[in-house]
Amino acid sequence: MNAVVTPESSLARVRSQVLDAAGIADHDLERALAALMRGTVDNADLYFQVSRQESWTLEDGIVKEGAHSIEQGVGVRAMSGEKTGFAYSDELVVPALLQASAAASAIVRQGQQGRVQAWQPRSGHRLYAPIDPLPTLTDDDKVALLQRIDSEVRALDPRVKQVVASLAAAHEVILVCASDGAMAADVRPLVRFNISVIVEQGDKREQGYAGGGGRFGYEYFTPEKVLEYGREAVRQAVVNLDAVPAPSGEMVVVLGPGWPGVLLHEAIGHGLEGDFNRKGTSAFTGRIGERVASDLCTVVDDGTLPNRRGSLNVDDEGTPTRNTVLIENGILRGYLQDKMNARLMGTDSTGNGRRQSFAHTPMPRMTNTYMLAGPHHPDEIIASVKKGVYARNFGGGQVDITSGKFVFSATEAYRIENGKLGAPIRDATLVGDGPTVLNRVSMVGNDLALDTGIGVCGKEGQSVPVGVGQPTLRIDGLTIGGTGGDE
Amino acid sequence: MSTRTALSLQNGVVTLQEKVNDVLRLARQLGASQAEANASFGTGFSVNVRLREVETLRHQRDQGLSVTVWLGHRKGSASTSDLRPEAIEESVRKACALARYGAEDPASGLADADRLARNIPELSLYHPWAIDPAAAIELATTCEAAALDVDPRVTNSEGASVSTSESLRVYGNSHGFLGSYPESDHSISCSVVAAQDGAMETDYEYAVARDAADLPSPAEIGAEAGRRTVARLGGTKLETCNAPVLFPARVARGLIGHLLGAISGGALYRKSSFLVDALGKPVFASRVTIDEKPHLLKALASAPFDDEGVATTERRLVDAGVLGGYLLGSYYARKLGMQSTGNSGGAHNLVVHSTGETFADLLKTMDRGLVIADLMGSGVNPVTGDYSRGASGFWVENGKIQYPVTEITIAGNLKDMFEGILGIGSDVDRRGAVLTGSILLEQMSIGGS
């Protein structure tokens, strides 16, 4: 049963949980912000975080370890033009807060105290229940869930030799208050299940992996759901037992729906983050309004999808998240902004100001990035390819923002010959150029899918949970790196 | 006034040792048969200067405590960044509660008592840098200016950074071991953007050292960042082909890094390594010899003891191509019927012996092929050794660099790549846990247009 919680009462609850527990009163927040707002400082904020995480890991058919961690602290930031002063403390007490504020404000020369606006509680979305997911299953049931999936997966195929499964949950409570009057809180549950298997056949060994999760309790992981992940991990590993070397060179590539949307995250998403465009270091700098994709392509970043891993009620600067159109029918429409970069570029935050924790500074980051569905049936897309590659699943990717070059690594892929799927091919990296690759999209499927809730995005050493998605896509030329020779 | 514990590195050892002892005592009271605790404290700051203006000043101050307990052979762990006594007690209780749900696993437990470090060698890892943010800003400004001034095609910048940090770690366990040592890390880095014909490229240079006196001058670092970036302008795609590939020292570190994952206990036990059962067998060309040297003075991956308190020792890991050992902590060592090698937490300075050539010699030997500038993506399958990554670099003819290339892939299998090492340069890069010169590989598949 979900209790009806208004944002205001959620804010009040978080204030009592985070601030009252630490003996921090309103006037202490005001003092800290006033200390930050010196001289030419335009904006300052305080970010309180209290989080608890747990993980349970099964290997060799037994739960080997349960782990639990508590992380809490406050990060304080002063911004003046393009300058940022930042300090944090993992002690939630008044003297530490004031000391951090003094250190952060040292970025600007001493000056008069600035003004702090009266706080106006921001009501964010209600995209997920403000629950603590850790106790949503008893510890006995967590252990039982892992043991059950281990024996079920081993029973699926005798070639399964090793199973590692894990269950993890985080309960993160954040509170932001800023000199511009923003005050917002968010209670962010996040759960995840992972399974990896090793299969053996003769002297061949392959690995398969699956998992999922989101912003809800452990009840999401029903026996059927968990078995679905197990089947998927075994299926991938077994497919790769018969894999042949991937070809090498430029080919027609069909990308499957869902997680292969990591293409959009790398090729497009990062290059549209406000910081790179403000600095002029992105291959997309100054290209708003230009054609960067075929007119079949519309790409959005949507932080407002209920219960998704990449969703947030408010971002880490207290701005409610949005659905931002990045590319509309092939035309570049918008950037992803946090407060600082929006201010410097004369626009508004799009609710994409995110940080790994109180010990890190916010940056423009993606939430759930995906391409909208198109007109083609996925079978029709594969049938259209005389010779090429169908990539169904991927590991990770990476992009060089400045040159626009990106890579992503296929973990499950097949040759396409005369419109039919052929032999599976070994792990292969695909490489392309962000500002031009989507111009080569010639067919877009009607089968939009989002990933299962496994994405982690890294930028400048900070990790945040994200989502990706796309329908099946045909790209008329992408370089693939295998050892199977030139095609 | 609050009774806040103001930790510093000076008073930190005693405070953290007390906390570790408190944890071990409490664990025993709560019925744990074995326990270990790690407490750490770190402090520092970093500055970034971009386009000759200060951009960020970040102060860093971290503390943490982790505890693992065993009830018999059942294990539970907890960690906290809150070091107040009540939070520490909650963590120990939580670890004990979790251990009750763990399964009995005979291999699980502390390292064997006779393997623990008896004396802790002084490795010269702690050299605090007496620098304030204003002076660091000045160094970063000099560094970036050198990069911007290298060539008019350097048009933009991600900035130059200077950072300094000190940390202290205390590890204790219920065998009676209690060890600690302070460390410092200082770095200068710079990344700029160059443009030509409407296309932009970026590259960077950095230096990192235990002792700031060992850092090169900021101007040298900046100028190198600028030169590296400009050299990448005008890159073209290559035709798909097979050719020799030269990994310059900084990229070659990652190549040897793939060995580390493949010979670590967990990967071997789970058979998720392409080097399962490779002990005593040739895995590299016979010209390759690699030592592990955990006690190199001032080195970045030196450590007197590992994460379980086990003494670290110098050893030959690869002898004339033959794998002489694994990287094991106690748990997977027991699972494999072996002994810990003092590698819980990783490898400590892998020194790859040079075959004597300079970088220029290796270019000559290669004659025609690819020099890597940068690799992208995670396309390495640890189970099969299949290797496929995005790359940019330079094409070489007649032993000389001809032009930059971009948007290509290189592919092979790590087994073949290790066996195909033709030479290891004398230009050793010491900025990480692997210390190696440039590495020339006989052949890889290059994917282009």
Is the CB of B105 less than 8 angstroms away from the CB of A62?
yes
Q: Which two tokens stand for residue B127?
A: 């050299």
Structure-model confidence comparison of residues B270 and B9, the more confident one: B270
β-partners of residue B77 are A67, B68
B80: nearest CB among A69, A100, A104 = A69
Q: What pLDDT shows up at residue B3?
A: 33
Count of C-beta atoms within a 10 Å radius of residue B33: 16
In this predicted model, what pLDDT tens digit does every residue of A66-100 receive, in sequence order? 899 999 999 999 999 899 999 998 888 888 899 88
Q: What pLDDT shows up at residue B332?
A: 97
How far, in Å, CA of B20 to CA of B65, rounded? 8
Q: What pLDDT shows up at residue B2?
A: 32
How far, in Å, CA of B17 to CA of A157, rounded? 51
Closest CA to A71 of A86, A85, A94, A51: A51
Residues 6+ apart with CB under 8 A from A33: A44, A45, A46, A101, A116, A177, A178, A179
Q: Which two tokens stand for residue A415?
A: 């040759």
Q: What pLDDT shows up at residue A12?
A: 86
Q: Which two tokens stand for residue A304?
A: 């407002």
Under a CB-based contact definition with an 8 Å cutoff, are residues B292 and B348 in contact?
yes
How far, in Å, CA of A437 to CA of B221, rounded? 35
Q: What pLDDT shows up at residue A16?
A: 87
With CA atoms as reference, the chain B residue closest to A70 would be B80
CB < 8 Å from A in window 374-413 of B:
374, 376-384, 386, 388-390, 392, 406-413
How far, in Å, CA of A400 to CA of B174, rounded? 48
Q: Which residue blocks in A242-338 are alpha helix, DSSP H?
A: 262-264, 274-279
Q: Phi then psi for A266, rounded to 5 degrees?
A: -80, -50
How far, in Å, CA of A230 to CA of A217, rounded? 20
How far, in Å, CA of B105 to CA of A129, rounded? 38
Percent of chain B with pLDDT over 70: 98
In this predicted model, what pLDDT tens digit does every residue of B410-430 receive, in sequence order? 999 999 999 999 999 999 999
How far, in Å, CA of A196 to CA of A163, rounded? 6
Count of C-beta atoms within a 10 Å radius of residue A349: 24
ipTM for the complex shown:
0.91
With CA atoms as reference, the chain B residue closest to A96 would be B4
How do B350-352 and B434-435 pair as beta strands?
parallel
Our separate counts of H helices and E strands in chain A read 11, 23
How do B154-173 and A83-89 pair as beta strands?
unpaired
Residue with token string 């294990």: B75
A409: nearest CB among B156, B377, B392 = B377
Q: What pLDDT shows up at residue A67?
A: 92
Q: Phi then psi for B110, rounded to 5 degrees?
A: -65, 165
How far, in Å, CA of B414 to CA of B279, rounded? 16
Q: What pLDDT shows up at residue A124?
A: 86
Under a CB-based contact definition with an 8 Å cutoff, are residues B184 and B199 in contact?
no
A281: nearest CB among B55, B158, B232 = B158
Q: Which residue blocks in B70-132 are alpha helix, DSSP H?
A: 85-101
Closest CA to A190 of A171, A211, A174, A212: A171
Q: Which two tokens stand for residue B218?
A: 């900021």
With CA atoms as reference, the chain A residue closest to B266 would be A59
Rounded to the nearest angstrom, the minimum Cα separation between A293 and chain B is: 18
Report the pLDDT averaged over residues B143-162.
Answer: 97
How far, in Å, CA of A379 to CA of A262, rounded? 22
Q: What pLDDT shows up at residue A35?
A: 87
Rounded to the nearest angstrom, the minimum Cα separation between A121 and chain B is: 28
Q: Which two tokens stand for residue B93?
A: 């209780």
Q: What pLDDT shows up at residue B133?
A: 92
Q: What pLDDT shows up at residue A115?
A: 64
Q: What pLDDT shows up at residue B4?
A: 38
Under a CB-based contact definition with an 8 Å cutoff, are residues B328 and B336 in contact?
yes
How far, in Å, CA of A365 to CA of A354, rounded? 6
Residues 6+ apart with CB under 8 A from A131: A171, A187, A189, A216, A217
Best of A205, A248, A437, A487 to disrupt the B interface by mutation (most B CBs within 10 Å)?
A: A248
Residue with token string 């570049």: A332
Structure-model confidence comparison of residues A36 and B322, the more confident one: B322
Residues 6+ apart with CB under 8 A from A155: none
* Per-position b or e across B182-197, b if 16+ CB within 10 A of its CB: bbbbbbbbbbbbbbee
Q: What pLDDT shows up at residue A109?
A: 61
How far, in Å, CA of B185 to CA of B399, rounded? 38
How do A368-371 and A462-470 pair as beta strands?
parallel
Best of A101, A238, A402, A487 to disrupt the B interface by mutation (most B CBs within 10 Å)?
A: A402
Residue B1's pLDDT band, with cuts at 50, 70 and 90, is: very low
DSSP state of A373: P
Closest CA to B417 of B262, B277, B267: B262
Best of B75, B388, B392 to disrupt the A interface by mutation (most A CBs within 10 Å)?
A: B388
Which of the residues in chain A have pLDDT under 50? 1-6
Residue B278 has pLDDT above 90, yes or no: yes
Query: What residues of chain A lie within 8 A of the CB of B240, using their CB?
Result: 248-250, 486
Under a CB-based contact definition with an 8 Å cutoff, are residues A90 and B82 in contact?
yes
